[in-house]
Amino acid sequence: MGGGFGGGHVSTEQIRPLPKTDASTRFEICFSVQSVKQKYRYELDLGQFSTHGIVGEEKLSLGETDLFHQTSDAPNKVVWIKEPRLVDVPQPGAIAMGRMPSLSDVVVAYAALTEGVGCYTFPNNVMLDGAKNESGQSGFQDSGSNYLQTMKKIVSNFQDASARHRIVSSLRRVNQGVSSVELNDLRNPQFAIVGHLFNDLTLELKLSQESEGFRRFYAHLLALYQQPSKLAMLFEHPEDGVHPGAFSLLADEFLAAPMDGRGQVILTTHSPGLLDRFTADQIRVVGKEGFYTQIGPLAMQQREALDEQLTEPGESDAADVVISKHVRVTALKERWNEAPSEVEALLHRDRYRQLHELLKNRNISTRSSKSFPVRKLVIRSWWRFVISLRSTARKEKPGWSTAASSSANISTQLFRSRKD
């Protein structure tokens, strides 16, 4: 995600909401850097009719101090509200970030928002080719194309050799025969070699000979263990191409990175299997309302179902929750024929009628003993049923408060440390 943030490489139309490419678009980003005690705040307003790279407003603050602030007071006319502390002040109008190389605080903020962020969406052919460089990027690049250079940096870091061992340890949990992943030549690497142990002998295979799932899993590990670490890493659908059995291992690595100080992790997923590895507090729901995208926490109904252990995070379909809670409550009260109107409406749909019948006929005990709670029996029956229904086409309309359908993105955010 590196490159000329202030260089105008990306047109404003590319980052405005479709189809309203003339809509006023504003960004507000709060972030911190480990070596800086105070927090940064960066605000950028593209303006409603921004042309020729002219911004509507731009402001960078460090703590309570404004480092610079420019805003438009008329169409295509921008003035400084707070000039940067320079003898030769640049002309206002264009994005100022990246145009003040002598102001250290501004340079740190610029580096954090560009080189400090990685956005990873690995293609199907990740790590099939030799080393390539994407213009304007440093560190492990967004497509994983410079994996050889990334491996070399990890190998050459003698101050911390644990990264190599932890990477191989994770790969060995996926494939017990893996003994090493190394470069064919440390000085001029052309490809990577994966060692497989057979009867105390090592068989060498090129990384390109490994399966797509193996290469994708390894790509995520390189991103998480790259040196130096990113401040934040964003992963788009990390479950793609990865064997479901490796989801828990991948989740463990995502959780470990911020705890070890290797950067904040944000990921999006459609996978219930991966989502189950995170808590409700770490989950955000992405929903679409008209032409707008909204992001927020789980709905109250879903959180209650998770707290009562009626559902797992990957089963956070609000309609399923309604049916399950009705079955549990009415079973305890022995009033199966008394259902709220919302449940009656759902039971007209074949899917929820089957769920209701399955739960009702599973010999659920109604005793409230602490050692044998009813809710645990409900969970297991429902969990198996929901998993089997995930493979079928779902026609329910995705909703913001429900976060239910398979077409809704789920964002999982792992904070850099518990103190944050």
Classify residue 292: in a domain, yes or no.
no
Residues 121 and 260 in one domain: yes
CB 347 within 8 A of CB 327: no
The predicted-structure confidence for 89-138, as pLDDT tens digits, reads as follows 999 998 999 999 999 999 999 999 999 999 999 999 999 876 565 555 67
The predicted-structure confidence for 216-250, as pLDDT tens digits, reads as follows 999 999 999 999 999 999 999 999 988 888 888 99
* 93-102 residues labelled b (16+ CB within 10 A) or e (exposed): bbbbbbbbee
Residues 331 and 379 in one domain: yes
Residues 90 and 132 in one domain: no
Choice between 3 and 299, residue whose per-residue pLDDT is larger: 299
Residues 319 and 203 in one domain: no
Band (pLDDT 50/70/90 cuts) for residue 365 is very low
The predicted-structure confidence for 193-216, as pLDDT tens digits, reads as follows 999 999 889 999 999 999 999 999
Full residue range of the structural domain in which residue 395 is found: 299-408
Q: Which pLDDT value is given to residue 49? A: 52
* Spatial distance between the Cα atoms of 140 and 115, rounded to a whole number of angstroms: 10
* Spatial distance between the Cα atoms of 30 and 294, rounded to a whole number of angstroms: 19
Q: Which pLDDT value is given to residue 34? A: 83
Locate 87 and state its tokens: 């003898």
The model carries a pTM of 0.71
Residues 55 and 76 in one domain: yes
Of the three residues 92, 114, 136, the one that is the final residue of a domain is 114
Residues 27 and 133 in one domain: no
Residues 242 and 322 in one domain: no
Choice between 26 and 21, residue whose per-residue pLDDT is larger: 26
Residues 365 and 243 in one domain: no
Band (pLDDT 50/70/90 cuts) for residue 312 is low
Overall domain count for the chain: 3
Classify residue 344: in a domain, yes or no.
yes
Classify residue 93: in a domain, yes or no.
yes
Tell me the average pLDDT of the chain.
75
Given the DSSP bridges, would you call strands 201-206 and 192-198 parallel, antiparallel or unpaired? antiparallel
Lowest mean pLDDT among 26-40, 130-144, 176-190, 297-311: 297-311
Choice between 340 and 392, residue whose per-residue pLDDT is larger: 340
CA distances (Å), 96 to each of 3, 31, 59, 91, 393, in order?
Answer: 15, 18, 9, 9, 49
The predicted-structure confidence for 154-180, as pLDDT tens digits, reads as follows 999 888 888 999 999 999 998 999 999
What percent of the chain shows pLDDT beyond 90? 41
CB 266 within 8 A of CB 416: no
Residues whose CB is less than 8 angstroms from the CB of residue 195 and which lie 6 or more positions away in sequence, other chains included: 178, 179, 180, 181, 182, 202, 203, 204
Q: Is residue 12 scored above 60 in pLDDT?
A: no
Residues 232 and 316 in one domain: no
Q: What does the pLDDT average to over 68-95?
A: 91
Residues 103 and 123 in one domain: no
Classify residue 278: in a domain, yes or no.
no
What percent of the chain shows pLDDT beyond 70? 62
* Spatial distance between the Cα atoms of 26 and 28, rounded to a whole number of angstroms: 7
Q: Which pLDDT value is given to residue 214? A: 95
Residues 258 and 304 in one domain: no
Residues 109 and 164 in one domain: no
How many residues make up the chain in this entry? 420
Of the three residues 114, 134, 149, the one that is the final residue of a domain is 114
Q: Which pLDDT value is given to residue 140? A: 93
Q: Is residue 5 scored above 70 in pLDDT?
A: no
